[in-house]
Amino acid sequence: MKIQNKKIAIIGGGPGGLTLARLLQLKGIAVKVYERDIHKDVRLQGGALDLHTDSGLAALTKAGLMDAFKANYRPEAGLIRVVDGQLQIHFDEHQQGKKQTFGDDDHRPEIDRGPLRQILLSSLEPDTVVWNSHLLSMERTEDGWKLVFENGHTAAADLVIGADGANSKVRPFVTPVQPYWTGITMLEGSLKDGAKTAPVISELLKGGKMFGYGKAQTLIVSSKGNGSFGFMASFKSSEQWAKESGIDFKDNQQVLAWFKREFSAWSPAWWELFESPDTVFIPRPQYCMPLDQRWEANADITLLGDAAHWMPPFAGEGVNMAMLDALQLSEALTNPAFNDTRQAIAFYEQQMFARFAKIGQATLFNTKWMHQPNALKDMLAMFGKNKPQQAVFFMKYLMQINVIPFIRRMLGWAPVQEVFH
Give the annotated binding-site residues for FAD. Answer: 50, 113, 306
Which sign, positive or negative, has the C-alpha torsion 247, 253, 257, 258?
Answer: positive
| Binding-site residues from annotation | 43, 50, 113, 306
100 and 106 in contact (C-beta within 8 Å)? yes
CA nearest to 32, candidates 11, 15, 63: 11
The amino acid sitting at 121 is: L
Chain center to CA of 46: 10
Integer Rg of the chain from CA: 22
SS3 letters for 388-415? HHHHHHHHHHHHHHHHHHHHHHHCCCCC
Q: Where are the alpha helices (DSSP H) in 151-305?
A: 194-197, 199-205, 241-244, 252-262, 272-275
Length reported for the chain? 421
> Directed axis angle between helix 341-369 and helix 318-333, to 10°?
170
- Alpha-carbon distance of 174 to 230, in angstroms, equals 34
- Alpha-carbon distance of 367 to 363, in angstroms, equals 6
- Alpha-carbon distance of 412 to 297, in angstroms, equals 23
Dump the DSSP string for 168-191.
-SSGGGT-----EEEEEEEEEEEE
- The dihedral over CA atoms of 170, 230, 103, 318, expressed in degrees to the nearest 10, equals -20
Structural element, H or E, at residue 356: helix 341-369
| Binding-site residues from annotation for NADPH | 43
A 10 A CB-CB count for 413 gives 11
217 and 234 in contact (C-beta within 8 Å)? yes
